[in-house]
Amino acid sequence: MTVDSVPVALGARSYEVRIGPGLIDRAGAQIAPLLRRPRVAVVTDETVAGLHLARLADGLAAAGLAHTSLALPAGESTKGWAHLARCTEWLLDQKVERRDLVVALGGGVIGDLVGFSAAILRRGVRFVQVPTSLLAQVDSSVGGKTGINTAQGKNLVGAFHQPSLVLADIDALATLPRRDFLAGYGEVLKYGLLGDAAFFDWLEVNAPRMVAGDAGLRQHAVRVSVAMKAGIVSRDETEEGERALLNLGHTFCHALESATGYGDRLLHGEGVAIGCALAFELSQRLGLCAQEAPSRLRAHLRSLGMKTDLRDIPGDLPGADGLLGLMAQDKKVVDGRLRFILARGIGQAFVADDVPPDAVRGVLTDALAAR
State the nearest-atom distance from the C-beta of 232 to ligand GLY, in Å. 8
Is 149 considered catalytic here? Answer: no
Closer Cβ to ligand GLY, 189 or 246, answer by number: 246
Distance CA 100, CA 6 (A): 24
The catalytic residue among 220, 268, 307, 339 is: 268
State the nearest-atom distance from the C-beta of 181 to ligand GLY, in Å. 18
Closer Cβ to ligand GLY, 65 or 119, answer by number: 119
Is 250 considered catalytic here? Answer: yes
Instruction: Label residue 99 exposed, middle or buried (CB < 10 Å: 0-12, 13-18, 19+).
Output: exposed
Distance CA 227, CA 8 (A): 8
- Say if strands 126-131 and 349-352 run parallel, antiparallel, or are unpaired: unpaired
Q: What is the DSSP letter of 34?
A: G
> Does residue 145 bind ligand GLY (CB under 6 A)?
yes
Closer Cβ to ligand GLY, 126 or 145, answer by number: 145
> Does residue 143 bind ligand GLY (CB under 6 A)?
yes
- Say if strands 4-8 and 15-20 run parallel, antiparallel, or are unpaired: antiparallel
Distance CA 32, CA 24 (A): 13
- How big is the site for ligand GLY, counted in residues (CB under 6 A)? 5
- Say if strands 126-131 and 165-169 run parallel, antiparallel, or are unpaired: parallel
Closer Cβ to ligand GLY, 226 or 246, answer by number: 246
Is 37 considered catalytic here? Answer: no
Q: Quick one: which segment of 57-65, 81-89, 96-104, 138-146 binds ligand GLY (CB under 6 A)?
A: 138-146
CA-to-CA dists, residue 253 to 4, 175, 257, 276, angstroms: 31, 26, 6, 8
Closer Cβ to ligand GLY, 236 or 312, answer by number: 236
State the nearest-atom distance from the C-beta of 247 to ligand GLY, in Å. 6
Cα torsion through 79, 82, 83, 86, rounded to 10 = 160
> Does residue 246 bind ligand GLY (CB under 6 A)?
yes
> Does residue 139 bind ligand GLY (CB under 6 A)?
yes
Distance CA 338, CA 330 (A): 9
Is 123 considered catalytic here? Answer: yes
Cα torsion through 142, 148, 154, 158, rounded to 10 = -70
Rg value, the chain, Cα: 20
First to last CA, the chain: 44
Is 254 considered catalytic here? Answer: yes
Is 281 considered catalytic here? Answer: no
Chain residue whose CB lies nearest ligand GLY: 246
> Does residue 26 bind ligand GLY (CB under 6 A)?
no
> Does residue 257 bind ligand GLY (CB under 6 A)?
no
The C-alpha angle 96, 97, 103, rounded to 5 degrees, equals: 50
State the nearest-atom distance from the C-beta of 2 to ligand GLY, in Å. 27
**What is the CB neighbour count within 10 angstroms for residue 309?**
18
Is 52 considered catalytic here? Answer: no
Is 243 considered catalytic here? Answer: yes
* 80 conformational bin, left if phi > 0, alpha if psi -120 to 50, beta if neither: beta
Among 243, 268, 300, 339, binds ligand GLY (CB under 6 A): 243
State the nearest-atom distance from the C-beta of 246 to ligand GLY, in Å. 4
In this structure, is the dihedral angle defined by the CA atoms of residues 304, 305, 309 and 313, taken in order, positive or negative?
negative
Is 187 considered catalytic here? Answer: yes
Closer Cβ to ligand GLY, 241 or 314, answer by number: 241
> Does residue 52 bind ligand GLY (CB under 6 A)?
no
Closer Cβ to ligand GLY, 59 or 147, answer by number: 147
Known catalytic residues? Answer: 123, 145, 187, 229, 239, 243, 247, 250, 254, 268
- List residues binding ligand GLY (CB under 6 A): 139, 143, 145, 243, 246
